[in-house]
Amino acid sequence: MALTFTRRAAVGLGFVASVAFAGAAAAEGEKIAVITPYLAQPGTQFYVEAFQARAGELGWEVNVIDTAGDVAAVISRMEDVVNQGVDAIVLNVDPAQVGAGLDAAAAANIPVFGMDAGADARIKANITSNGYAMAAETAVYVANRIGGAGNVVMFTFDPFPPVQVRGVIADAVFGNYPDIKVLDRITPDVADGGIADARAKMEAVLAANPEPGSIKAVWAAWDQPALGALQAIEAAGRQGEGIVITGIDANPQARDEIAKGGNFEASVAQDFAGIGRTTADTVARVLGGETLKANVIYVPTKLITAANAAE
C-alpha cells in the first residue's frame, strides 16, 4: 500500500509539474469561451466554476455562454466567438451536433476542447469521467441488490454522449441477467435539470404497475432522474417495497438522500472540480505548444453509498 501510494504521489507530482510548466508557457490574457446548453445541471455548474477558478489563476479571460438547453444555438455562438478571435473554445455538448461550429473554429485555427463532451477529430481532447465504468458499477450494484431478478426502470439520455454511453453499458449489464427485465427506458425532459419530468414519468410507471414488488429497481444515468423517481415513489407511499435506486454524479442533494439509508442507495461521485481544472490545464498545455498524445482524458470517480455519503 505504501509503495503504491509513493508511486502514485510521484506520478502526480510529475503531472503537476508538467501542467505548471505548460501553464506558464501559455501567455496570460488568453481569451477562452466556454459554451454549453446544460448549465442548469449541477455537475455542469461545478466544473464550469472550477474551470473559471483555474483560468483565473492562469490569468485568462473566460466567457461562459449558456444556451439554456438549445443545442442548435451552440453553433451560432461558436461562430460568434470565432469571429471575436478567442484563443480557445471549451464545449460541453455532443460534438456531432455542432459540426458547423467545429468547422468554423478549425478554419480559424482555434483549438476546441471538450469538458465532459464527446470525441471528435476536431477536438483536441475531451476531459471527462469514464462513463463506461460508472454505468457498469451502478448497474452491477442494482443487479446484485435485487438478486439478479426483477423489473428495472431505466432513465437515460441518448442525445448527450457522456450520458448515452452509460445507458448502453447498463443495458449490457442487465442483458446478462436472464431474470432481469427492463420494464421501461425513459428519457426525461432536462430543461429544468430532469427532476420534475422524471417524477411525472415515474408516477405513470408506478400507476401502471401497482402491485408491491412489481418494480425492483430504478437505474438512472444521472442523479436528477433518480431524485425525481424517489419523489414519485415516496408520494405513492411505496418506499417500503424496497425499490433500489441508483444515480450517477453524487451531487449534494443525492448524497443527502443516500445518507438517509432509504431507497436511493448509490451514486458515483465524479470529480467535477477535477474535470474543470484538468480541462483548463489541458488548454494551457496546448496553448503552450504541447501536442497531446491522448484525445480522451479520464478523471477518477468513486462509488458513493450510505457508508461514505457524508465524506
Whether residue 308 lies inside any domain: the answer is no
Give the closest residue to 220 by CA, choosing from 134, 278, 147, 305: 134
Whether residue 187 lies inside any domain: the answer is yes
Is pLDDT of 12 > 70?
A: no
Same domain, 140 and 97: no
27 Cβ contact list (under 8 Å, min separation 6): 287
pLDDT in tens, 40-63: 888 899 999 999 999 999 999 999
Q: How many domains is the chain built from?
A: 2
State which residues form the domain around 194: 131-270
- Grid coordinates given for 76: 451560432
Give the pTM.
0.76
Whether residue 305 lies inside any domain: the answer is no
Q: Can you name the residues that pair with 268 across neighbouring β-strands? A: 303
Whether residue 310 lies inside any domain: the answer is no
Whether residue 311 lies inside any domain: the answer is no
Same domain, 20 and 106: yes
Same domain, 291 and 258: no
Q: Is the dihedral of CA 94, 99, 101, 103 positive or negative?
A: positive
Same domain, 265 and 276: no
Q: How far apart are CA 161 and CA 243, in angstroms?
A: 28
Residue-averaged pLDDT of the chain:
90
In CATH, what number is assigned to the domain containing residue 150?
Answer: 3.40.50.2300
Same domain, 46 and 142: no
Same domain, 114 and 161: no
Whether residue 255 lies inside any domain: the answer is yes
Q: Which helix (H) or strand (E) holds 88?
A: strand 88-91
Same domain, 108 and 42: yes
Burial of 14 from C-beta contacts in 10 A (0-12 / 13-18 / 19+): exposed
pLDDT in tens, 264-283: 999 999 899 999 999 999 99
3-state DSSP call for residue 175?
Answer: helix
pLDDT for residue 27: 56
pLDDT in tens, 18-40: 444 444 445 578 999 999 999 98
Q: How far apart are CA 285 and CA 189, in angstroms?
A: 37
Is residue 76 very low, low, confident or very high in pLDDT (cuts 50, 70, 90)?
Answer: very high
Same domain, 214 and 280: no
Is pLDDT of 8 > 70?
A: no
